[in-house]
Amino acid sequence: MTELKAKVVAITGGGSGVGLHTARHFASLGWQVSICGRNRKVVEGEASRLEQDFGIRSFGCCADVSSQEEIIDYAKKSTGILGPIDTLICNAAILGPIGRLADIDILEIEQTFKTNVIGVYNSVKGFWEQLSNSQSPRVITISGGGTGGPNPVRKALAYVPSKAAIAAFTEIISDELRALNGSIVSVALGGAIPTNFLHNVISSGIDIAGKQLFDDAMLQQSGKIGDSLNDFYSLLDFLMTESGVNFNGKMLSARWNKVSDLEVCVNDAMDVNLYQLRRIDGHLYMNR
């Protein structure tokens, strides 16, 4: 595989959790890293730590992805510090309300879609000019919540549909990335690490969240549900290469889609229907 020369990445929601872990991964590879989040002190502090720990240039900006104006400002400031990006990772998301539809405030659902869906639209559009000027741009959108898999988080009535919407957006906009000699791919993490993402589940309680989701949240918060994103990192690294362009518009899982299998698909001229959101092969729905 021929490695791309892309060396500047912007990560939304990069001040904590998976976004920060991903930022540290790219920094460890020598990439310049731009992160945004809603807490100025946190993102600026983490950007400084990235520079100190890895000897790279980094930029941290306070920005809410649901605000078009804030993301446009973030993109402008980012390019002013680090230059134009080559890769955008749309990671920022919220879990949203937990429980039954009859008991949920529709405004909470609306806010979840503003962050998880409109936030991706804002981010891609905000950085579009920079991506258009890249030799081979990459966009990664983070799916999850059982999208394409056998176990959706059934009590997360806003989160799961919002992630399905992101997978569809990824497919629809892929033609525009192809015209730029680039790609956009929806990636499921395939694993979990200790974060506060499921805190809303715990605060809702077991009666509202349900035993399975509540237990998962407790395990995740205690660090017993998973401690590695290595498969996710390997998949990201592959998608940054020339071979990775072949998966433009597709939906992949770091758990199920190993890089070795994807390389075989490329070499064997894979079926264009494989890895789409509307899958008919059944492969993704099998537990391994």
What DSSP line would sit under 77-108, residue for residue? HHHHHH-S-SEEEE--------S-GGGS-HHH
Query: Which residue's entry shows tokens 């940054």?
Result: 240
- pLDDT of residue 223 exceeding 60, the answer is no
pLDDT given for residue 24 in this prediction:
96
pLDDT given for residue 2 in this prediction:
42
pLDDT given for residue 279 in this prediction:
52
pLDDT given for residue 1 in this prediction:
41
Q: Could you report the per-residue pLDDT of 167-177, keeping only the tens digit for each?
A: 999 999 999 99
Mark whether 162 and 255 lie in a shared domain. Answer: yes
Mark whether 147 and 244 lie in a shared domain. Answer: yes
* Rounded distance between C-alpha atoms, residue 194 and residue 225, angstroms: 7
Mark whether 123 and 14 lie in a shared domain. Answer: yes
Residue 151's contacts (CB-CB under 8 Å, 6 or more residues apart) are none
Mark whether 106 and 242 lie in a shared domain. Answer: yes
* Rounded distance between C-alpha atoms, residue 82 and residue 50, angstroms: 14
CB–CB of 134/84 below 8 Å? yes
Give this prediction's pTM. Answer: 0.85
- pLDDT of residue 282 exceeding 60, the answer is no
Confidence band, pLDDT 50/70/90 cuts, at residue 267 = confident
pLDDT given for residue 156 in this prediction:
82
* 112 located within any domain: yes
pLDDT given for residue 116 in this prediction:
94
In single-letter form, the type of residue at position 110 comes to E
Mark whether 244 and 135 lie in a shared domain. Answer: yes
Q: Is the dihedral of CA 130, 161, 253, 219 positive or negative?
A: positive
pLDDT given for residue 80 in this prediction:
96
pLDDT given for residue 170 in this prediction:
95
In single-letter form, the type of residue at position 124 comes to V
Range(s) of the domain holding residue 116: 8-191+228-274
Per mean pLDDT, which range of 140-149, 252-261, 274-283 is the poorest? 274-283
DSSP string covering 250-276, please? -EEETTT--HHHHHHHHHTT--TTTT-
* 279 located within any domain: no
Mark whether 143 and 258 lie in a shared domain. Answer: yes
- More confident site: 287 or 72: 72
Helices (H), ranges, the chain = 17-28, 40-54, 68-82, 106-113, 119-126, 128-132, 159-178, 199-204, 206-209, 211-222, 230-239, 259-267
* Rounded distance between C-alpha atoms, residue 84 and residue 8, angstroms: 7
Q: Could you report the per-residue pLDDT of 104-140, keeping only the tens digit for each?
A: 899 999 999 999 999 999 999 999 999 999 999 999 9
Mark whether 40 and 167 lie in a shared domain. Answer: yes
